[in-house]
Structure 1
Amino acid sequence: MKYIFFILIFVVYSANAQKLDGRVTDSKGQTLPGAVVYWQSNFNDAVISDLEGKFSINKKNNSKNLIVRMVGFNTDTILVKDELSLIVILKESENTLQQVVVEGNATIIDRLSAIHTEVITAKSLAKAACCNLSESFETNGSVSVSYTDAVTGSKQIQLLGLSGTYVQTNIENIPNLRGLATTFGLNYVPGTWIESIDVAKGVGSVINGYENMAGAINVELKKPDHSDRLYVNAYANQFGRAELNINSAKKISKKWSTAILSHGSFLNNKIDNNGDGFLDLPKYNQINLINRWKYNSDRFMGQFGVKFLKENRTGGQVDYKDLATTPNIYGFENHTRRVEFFSKTAILFPDAPYRGLGLIISAINHNSDSRFGNKPYVGIQNTLYSNLIYQDKIGNTNHTYKTGLSFMNDNYDEKYAALTLKRNEIVPGAFFEYTFNHLDRTLLILGLRDDYHNLFGNQFTPRLHFKQDIGQNDTYRFSVGRGFRVPNPLAEYFGNLVSSRNVVFLDKIQPEVSWNFSTSYYKTIGKLSISAELYHNIFTKQWVADMEHPGFIYFYGSENKPKTTSGLIEVNYGPVKNWELKMAYRYVNSKVNLGKPYQENVLVDRMFLSKERVLFNVAYALPYDKWKIDGTLHWNGKRRIPNADPLYDHTSYADMPVRYAPSFVNLNAQVTRNFVKWEYYLGGENLTGFKQSNPIIEPNKPFGNGFDAGMAWGPIVGATIYTGVRFKLI
């Protein structure tokens, strides 16, 4: 991709606005992460102290009173004159309420949320190269990411035993990576754009919609008014993948700020390390840009921006060029163009900070043009989303509520070979969420929403969340709720189309409905934290992809209440003497009902899902993070895989052979050297070198009846060594 380094870069030179730097501690000198710092009457520009208690905030000409607030401590008001740095010591309140957050190795636990939420910080993201969102969960025990096939490079997340299609993925609380973006969407969010990632487990809030069925991932991007003036990241690995990210931000005036985030990447080498005649990694190029603006005043806040993405992928047999030049060689192509507009506005009430009125608007046009051998696929999605939210109190701030109206319009037009799928979903909705909060220790949230789907009728979604602090170091949570979504089979099983399988719909597309029950217990003992979590999903309606018949993929609905139960135990220790440790064990028991092609009903393990997973992460840093060393070990347990033997004669689900892929170990590591403005890193992924043998069935006969590249369950390439450099101008 010759034009990769000629991305349109908007490099801004702002006036060197003075900043106030500080550090927040308690009376014993212990750092306090998560403290809220803001200028009086200007809460919208609040900043949060980081894991070391440090903060940096722009000085205001119209305000000299700095407010520092944190749960469990007395709020302090400091008169700031000419100081450029200070240390704030907070005194514990008489109620000795606990802190908002607790330090952890790879995440911060939100102690105030009724939903068990892990916050992956920028510090955690720097533990790996983190080129995009799909590579941002290496140190997370709940989320795992894997390739969906051996050709396209598509990745999918799994959260607590269910695939990413059941996880609502938002960008700054706007539903985003859904529909046709399910296929490659994790590659559409560069890591250098990310400020933090919230992983909320269990059913979520009714405010953000009805599609959350197993959890929610919310990605916060870099903000124009709190970002570095210039940030550059360059990355390369031994396979020839190269990336360049340039972010710039400018404070235009007291109320206006803007930023441009840019990303370009490419891989143009032919990689076939296993010698099967197919590229192990697709060749690709991508350009990705955001221009965003922000307006802040005492009574109004507004953000809006435009995103543009263009990506081209080519895979398949090594000698494939294009359909016209090499028609008899199997090739895969994908050309995606995506344009988004978003706007977030809010009316503020300075005299009543508990009150607010906000409006979110998003519009997306997604075009995908692909080819699987001689089978074309064209998909177009146009989405319009809006969410109007009003919040206020009932009597006092122990009783608050949020209510509002939402609207979602999804227009899909898909064509695959001779198959055509079209639908236009129009879904207006209303919601109400009541919150009871007693000293941040007892929290009860009851949410109700009702949506009318023009194709599938009325959908009522109740949800309940409860949190109780026990003493100063223990937190118990419980939640239950209903989820609803309409599947997009071709996008969600995109990788399985790289095969000779015929796609057969036994039923018309119907919505999936589930009930989620979750509970967790979180305990801290000094620098040690322990989390025990249990999640249970019951599907009253579920869409099934049946690949037990070689040569076919059947789609149909199942109403036999398949279940998924998952448990997680996670232990974090540190930081202590520059060390941080993390261990996590996850167990999943997930079943699905198959057999409709033969009018059978057989309960089997869900395919391509590890029953067990173990994570161990260790990090060491010299003082001031001059040198940082991080290592993460993953043990992935066995998982059921379909029988793809082209000679297998499938006659009964009850008697079909059950196959399991073996367990395997991955090791990732990175070394980072920090300077004042520069940062250099060297790392490796899959350093154990494990590769799935023969990931493609009959690669020598790609146009034959037995060809199948959708049976990937492990790494396709061996060890990956990468290096990079980061530059930051504050």
Structure 2
Amino acid sequence: MRFYLVILTLLAALPVRAQIDSSVVVRGVVAEQQQNKRIPLIGATVRWAGSSGGTITDSTGRFQLPLTTQFNQLLISYVGYQSDTLTVTNPANDITSILRPERTLSEVTVSGAAGQLDRMNPIQTELITQRTLAKAACCNLSESFETNASVSVSYADAVTGAKQIQFLGLGGQYVQTNVENIPTIRGLATTFGLNYIPGTWITSIDIGKGAGSVVNGYESMSGQMNVELQKPDSPDKLFLNGYVNSFGRIEGNANWSKPLSKKWTVGVLGHASALRNEIDQNNDGFRDLPLYTQLNAINRYKYSSDRFVAQFGVKALYEDRDGGQLARYDTPSSTRYSFGNTTRRLEFFSKTAKLYPDKPYKGLGLILNGLHHEQIANFGYRPYLGLQRTFYANLIYQSIIGNTNHAYKAGLSYLLDDYLERLGPLQTNRTESVPGVFAEYTYSYLEKLTFVLGGRFDYHNLFGAQWTPRAHLKYNLSPNVALRASGGRGFRVPNRFIENFGYLVSSRTIVNDSPLQPEISWNYGLSLSNDVNLFGKKASLVLDYHRTTFENQLVVDLEHPRELHFYNLQGASFANSFQAELNIQPIKRFEVKAAYRLFDVRQSMGGPFGESRLLPKMMVSRDRVLLNAGYALPFDKWKFDATLQWNGPRRIPYLRPDYVHTSYGNMPTDYSPGFYNLNAQVSRAFRSGWEIYLGGENLTGFRQLNPIVAANDPFGVNFDAGSRAWGPVTGRMVYLGFRFKPVL
């Protein structure tokens, strides 16, 4: 019934009357020429001359734009390149645009726009390019959202060093995070997975809000994120990066690629980082950040011909973390409270596609992925073991119905997950086997309308048949104003322990009040994007609202001071999200972003006492404000960037030592204060291919003074290092780094 209401709402927004000008969608690719080889350009702008409507190229440099009878010339532009104008004489043929650099000086740094909204995508999607990533150190994926208003990142607790994201008011486990369209940060990688993708490996990040495409699975609830990595045919044959900060963290990255023949290329991505310096800025006897070592590598290959493309490779990761009390507490007369975590992860992937050069709209692709993840940890005397073995397959066929106004994708998928989690005497085992079938239809009408209707049917061996419908609509109210609407269902099976790792750094007793059930949600969204003239300058304004409601949800109950309860939802649970974002360029090469985000997230609590009280969800700030300013001198010789954030108060557990929890109706509540955070960076590029950057994080120096409850008695009943960690644990941090790309 919910889905039919979504469809009726979307159909109501369709134009009542339309005069068809053409049934053709113009497709093409934008690239640059390097050493007799075409390299796709990501984030290039493509629009009709005389019209403000347009699109940007995707991660493969491709674009599609509905044909209009009013204009026949395409304007193609890209930062650092000469613009190109092409006359479209035969719309049925693919268009290729080869852009040339504005200058032939070797010091010119070519990059895409910092961050753009994909104007053609019916799903509200923001594209983060390498230019955005270079605004901060971005040592890994968790540090790649410093200048993004939609995704907020914070430490999950005061001991493990794990970072968590919030998106549309929900935790990172509700975002389907893919790496090159392969579901990756899920399962046992939920806690530390954001740290497993070094920033220097990333070429772009797509952030889609709301219900995602059914092609990628059923687990997306609040949105989908896709991370594209450096490819073997990258124009940068060698890239080196080094980093060190004032806490003692050091990091090195190396990307290397080489053509083996005209059709074969090979690439290796390597990463090593470590922190061996104990930090205790609040003098509570605990390491503010765990000591750690990480080794991470990918070896990948690519085969490319006119009719067949294949990519495959192997990923390997080793990480060791050692947190808890300082080493001096480990003496013959006393035992140090320690947190330890060792992760070993091995992964294989392959992506193959059959192409049809005479029918560019048609294709057949197969994605395969195999994973082994092993994680051994301890929380004081409490041991943890996690094992995950996963196999994933996705077969996708795409084509058109009659003409390119009617396109579709259809396919088959299979997911096999084998989990084992053991925390002390508690153990959970399960094997999920989920075959599925899906189809997605897209209707496009000129530059006015795009409507996507998709559905998938999956049969879960533990929880039966699952039907996942989703719909998306984009309607251009004018050449400068676009309206988007979306709705759909999400389904996922939670992992109690790994998704709440930080809460385990405590003396709380674990209580499973009900058997594990899948989480089921519905997401509805509406957004309005508008290109405007503000004070005579071109600007963009984006407003969006999303609501996620849960039919069932795993409730993580922290209201009992000495207990951690898990149970299924008994009542209502929802997350409302509103965001307004303004981007403007007051003067040439000076970009300013201002954004405000509002969350209203509530969840019914009270399962242990048979109650149902709708309460504000823990650890969610109602308000967030972000201001970002960036300036670059000609040719990006010098670049300056600064970001100021304000994070509002959030509800936290009431943990007074003498408090006894007896009811959810009249229990006391506690809130953290709001705080500011300032990050800044300056970088200098040289004609030799070197770039040096200097920056700082948390420059206001704000720290939460006592994030650990009963730090002086870590083996006592009141010890808790997870549930009241709401702000920065460390103060001001300064870093220095370099990037090197040899000039060929």
For residues 222 and 585 of structure 1, the distance between their equivalents in structure 2, rounded to whole angstroms, comes to 33
Q: Which residue of 2 aligns with 1:709?
A: 721
Specify whether residues 668 and 563 from structure 1 end up closer, same or farther in structure 2 by C-alpha distance, changes over 3 A only. Answer: same
Shift of 1:441: 2.7
Shift of 1:561: 2.6
Specify whether residues 106 and 25 from structure 1 end up closer, same or farther in structure 2 by C-alpha distance, changes over 3 A only. Answer: closer
Shift of 1:35: 5.8
Contact 2:480 2:531 in 1 (8 A): yes
Contact 2:114 2:130 in 1 (8 A): no
Q: Does 1:516 align with 2:523?
A: yes
Q: Does 1:649 align with 2:657?
A: no
1:421-468 deviations in Å (ceiling 9; x for gaps): 100000000001011011243100000101000001110000000001
| Aligned with residue 593 of structure 1, among 587, 590, 604 | 604
Shift of 1:469: 1.1
Q: Which residue of 1 aligns with 2:26?
A: none
Specify whether residues 556 and 350 from structure 1 end up closer, same or farther in structure 2 by C-alpha distance, changes over 3 A only. Answer: same
1:477-498 deviations in Å (ceiling 9; x for gaps): 0000000000011011001100
Shift of 1:666: 0.0
Contact 1:38 1:67 in 2 (8 A): no
User: What root-mean-square deviation, in Å, do the aligned CA atoms of Structure 1 and Structure 2 show?
Assistant: 3.0
For residues 339 and 87 of structure 2, the distance between their equivalents in structure 1, rounded to whole angstroms, comes to 55
Contact 2:232 2:266 in 1 (8 A): yes
Q: Which amino acid aligns with 1:721?
A: V
Specify whether residues 463 and 653 from structure 1 end up closer, same or farther in structure 2 by C-alpha distance, changes over 3 A only. Answer: same
Q: Which residue of 2 aligns with 1:140?
A: 148
Q: Does 1:718 align with 2:731?
A: yes
For residues 556 and 233 of structure 1, the distance between their equivalents in structure 2, rounded to whole angstroms, comes to 46
Q: Which amino acid aligns with 2:79?
A: E
Q: Which amino acid aligns with 1:426?
A: S
Shift of 1:559: 3.9
Q: Which residue of 1 aligns with 2:70?
A: none
Contact 2:443 2:452 in 1 (8 A): yes
Specify whether residues 467 and 33 from structure 1 end up closer, same or farther in structure 2 by C-alpha distance, changes over 3 A only. Answer: closer
Alignment of 1:476-515 (within 5 A): 476-515=483-522
Alignment of 1:127-276 (within 5 A): 127-276=135-284
Contact 1:199 1:217 in 2 (8 A): yes
Contact 2:46 2:77 in 1 (8 A): no
After TM superposition, the score normalised by the length of structure 2 is 0.87
Specify whether residues 193 and 581 from structure 1 end up closer, same or farther in structure 2 by C-alpha distance, changes over 3 A only. Answer: same
Q: Which residue of 2 aligns with 1:667?
A: 678
Q: Which residue of 2 aligns with 1:52?
A: 79
Q: Which residue of 2 aligns with 1:302?
A: 310
For residues 486 and 39 of structure 1, the distance between their equivalents in structure 2, rounded to whole angstroms, comes to 36
Shift of 1:105: 7.4
Shift of 1:159: 0.6
Alignment of 1:578-657 (within 5 A): 578-657=589-668
Shift of 1:472: 1.1
Paired positions, count: 681
Corresponding residue SS for 1:464: strand
Q: Does 1:531 align with 2:542?
A: yes
Q: Does 1:681 align with 2:693?
A: yes
Q: Which residue of 2 aligns with 1:437?
A: 444
For residues 78 and 195 of structure 1, the distance between their equivalents in structure 2, rounded to whole angstroms, comes to 22
Q: Which amino acid aligns with 1:724?
A: G
Contact 1:39 1:67 in 2 (8 A): no
Shift of 1:104: 10
Shift of 1:17: 3.3
Contact 1:400 1:434 in 2 (8 A): yes
| Aligned with residue 130 of structure 2, among 122, 129, 133 | 122
Q: Does 1:356 align with 2:366?
A: no
| Aligned with residue 351 of structure 2, among 323, 338, 344 | 344
Corresponding residue SS for 1:165: helix
Shift of 1:174: 0.5
Q: Does 1:285 align with 2:288?
A: no
Shift of 1:78: 8.4
Shift of 1:471: 1.8
For residues 182 and 699 of structure 1, the distance between their equivalents in structure 2, rounded to whole angstroms, comes to 27
Alignment of 1:316-335 (within 5 A): 316-319=324-327, 328-335=335-342
Contact 1:536 1:565 in 2 (8 A): yes
Q: Which residue of 2 aligns with 1:7?
A: none
Q: Which amino acid aligns with 2:478?
A: G
Specify whether residues 696 and 35 from structure 1 end up closer, same or farther in structure 2 by C-alpha distance, changes over 3 A only. Answer: closer
For residues 459 and 60 of structure 2, the distance between their equivalents in structure 1, rounded to whole angstroms, comes to 42
Specify whether residues 320 and 375 from structure 1 end up closer, same or farther in structure 2 by C-alpha distance, changes over 3 A only. Answer: farther
Specify whether residues 277 and 397 from structure 1 end up closer, same or farther in structure 2 by C-alpha distance, changes over 3 A only. Answer: same
For residues 143 and 328 of structure 2, the distance between their equivalents in structure 1, rounded to whole angstroms, comes to 28
Q: Which residue of 1 aligns with 2:587?
A: 576
Alignment of 1:23-38 (within 5 A): 34=56
1:160-191 deviations in Å (ceiling 9; x for gaps): 11111110000011000000000100000000
Shift of 1:599: 0.7
Q: Which residue of 1 aligns with 2:22?
A: none
Q: Which residue of 2 aligns with 1:100?
A: none
For residues 226 and 522 of structure 1, the distance between their equivalents in structure 2, rounded to whole angstroms, comes to 33
Shift of 1:645: 2.3
Shift of 1:107: 1.2
For residues 673 and 630 of structure 1, the distance between their equivalents in structure 2, rounded to whole angstroms, comes to 12
Shift of 1:24: 8.8
1:295-321 deviations in Å (ceiling 9; x for gaps): 111110100010000000000000279
Q: Does 1:727 align with 2:740?
A: yes
Shift of 1:646: 2.9
Contact 2:397 2:409 in 1 (8 A): yes
Corresponding residue SS for 2:497: helix
Q: Which residue of 1 aligns with 2:117?
A: 109
Range moving further from structure 2, 640-649 or 382-391: 640-649
Contact 1:548 1:642 in 2 (8 A): yes
Contact 1:24 1:87 in 2 (8 A): no
Contact 1:33 1:53 in 2 (8 A): no
For residues 648 and 568 of structure 1, the distance between their equivalents in structure 2, rounded to whole angstroms, comes to 38
Contact 1:33 1:50 in 2 (8 A): no
Alignment of 1:90-101 (within 5 A): none
Q: Which amino acid aligns with 2:549?
A: I
1:281-335 deviations in Å (ceiling 9; x for gaps): 000000000011111111101000100000000000002798x989721001000
Q: Which amino acid aligns with 2:656?
A: D
Specify whether residues 104 and 309 from structure 1 end up closer, same or farther in structure 2 by C-alpha distance, changes over 3 A only. Answer: closer
Q: Which amino acid aligns with 1:110?
A: D
Report percent identity of matched pairs: 53
For residues 466 and 46 of structure 2, the distance between their equivalents in structure 1, rounded to whole angstroms, comes to 49
Shift of 1:270: 0.7
Q: Which amino acid aligns with 1:567?
A: F
Instruction: List gaps (5 residues or longer) in structure 1.
Output: 1-15, 41-47, 57-65, 89-102
Contact 2:123 2:212 in 1 (8 A): yes
Instruction: List gaps (5 residues or longer) in structure 2.
Output: 1-33, 63-74, 104-110
For residues 37 and 600 of structure 1, the distance between their equivalents in structure 2, rounded to whole angstroms, comes to 50
Q: Which residue of 1 aligns with 2:107?
A: none
Contact 1:104 1:573 in 2 (8 A): no
Corresponding residue SS for 1:493: helix
Contact 1:34 1:70 in 2 (8 A): no
Contact 1:344 1:360 in 2 (8 A): yes
Specify whether residues 37 and 239 from structure 1 end up closer, same or farther in structure 2 by C-alpha distance, changes over 3 A only. Answer: closer
Q: Does 1:373 align with 2:380?
A: yes
For residues 79 and 714 of structure 1, the distance between their equivalents in structure 2, rounded to whole angstroms, comes to 48
For residues 432 and 289 of structure 2, the distance between their equivalents in structure 1, rounded to whole angstroms, comes to 35
Q: Which residue of 1 aligns with 2:565?
A: 554
After TM superposition, the score normalised by the length of structure 1 is 0.89
